[in-house]
Amino acid sequence: MDIGALRAVDGDDDRRFVIATAFDMEKVDIGASIACSGACLTVVEKGNDWFSVDVSAETLACTTLGSWVEGRRINLEPSLRLGAELGGHLVQGHVDGVALVTERRPDGGSLRFGFEAPAAFARYIARKGSVALDGVSLTVNEVDGNRFGVNIIPHTAACTTFGTLRKGDNVNLEVDLLARYVARLHSDMTAA
């Protein structure tokens, strides 16, 4: 994982982002996928310390990417390679919606964040279940309707953009893959 920065933005309806990174770009192929704050994007051009991605109007409209400006810090994660350690839950980089930060407060040595999820996705979020926010795999601490909370340990705050996240900010939300399929299966079985 890396925290990159948006170096340049070009275009209106569709956009090209140039993103600065500490990744060894010699090991990243053109056409590779990199999750950019949770949105899986394709590398279309690269240099020693940067890469470019094209972002469609659909992605700009359905994620936080439409509001990104030069200088924005971005959580970066390359695709999981077969045989690599899986250190969290399965995160696809398919953003479901945008969640609002409703709270940020100290909680012991950690940070406690509250979020409001879009109503259509709240049913997929469960206490002690998994959620990905800006591409970071997290455990849900509590749920109340479409609001939920997570705890961020100091390491996660330092190594992701959570250290600078504030109340009123928006984050990309990806619900747990298994929760989505269980809900679909339940819906199909109920309809039958």
Report whether pLDDT(189) > 90. Answer: no
Are both 69 and 101 inside the same structural domain? no
Are both 56 and 119 inside the same structural domain? no
Could you give the percent of the chain with pLDDT greater than 70?
92
β-bridge pairing 97-107 and 170-175:
antiparallel
Report whether pLDDT(176) > 90. Answer: no
At 119-164, the pLDDT tens digits run 999 999 999 999 999 999 999 999 999 999 999 999 999 999 999 9
CATH number for the domain that contains residue 168: 2.40.30.20
| Residue 87 counted as domain residue | no
At 31-48, the pLDDT tens digits run 999 999 999 999 999 999
| Residue 85 counted as domain residue | no
pTM comes to 0.91
| Residue 13 counted as domain residue | yes
Name residue 177's amino acid: L
Q: Which residues of 163-176 are buried (b: 16+ CB within 10 A; e: fewer)?
A: eebeeeebbbbbbb
Give the count of domains, the chain. Answer: 2
Gap between the Cα atoms of 45 and 47, Å rounded: 7
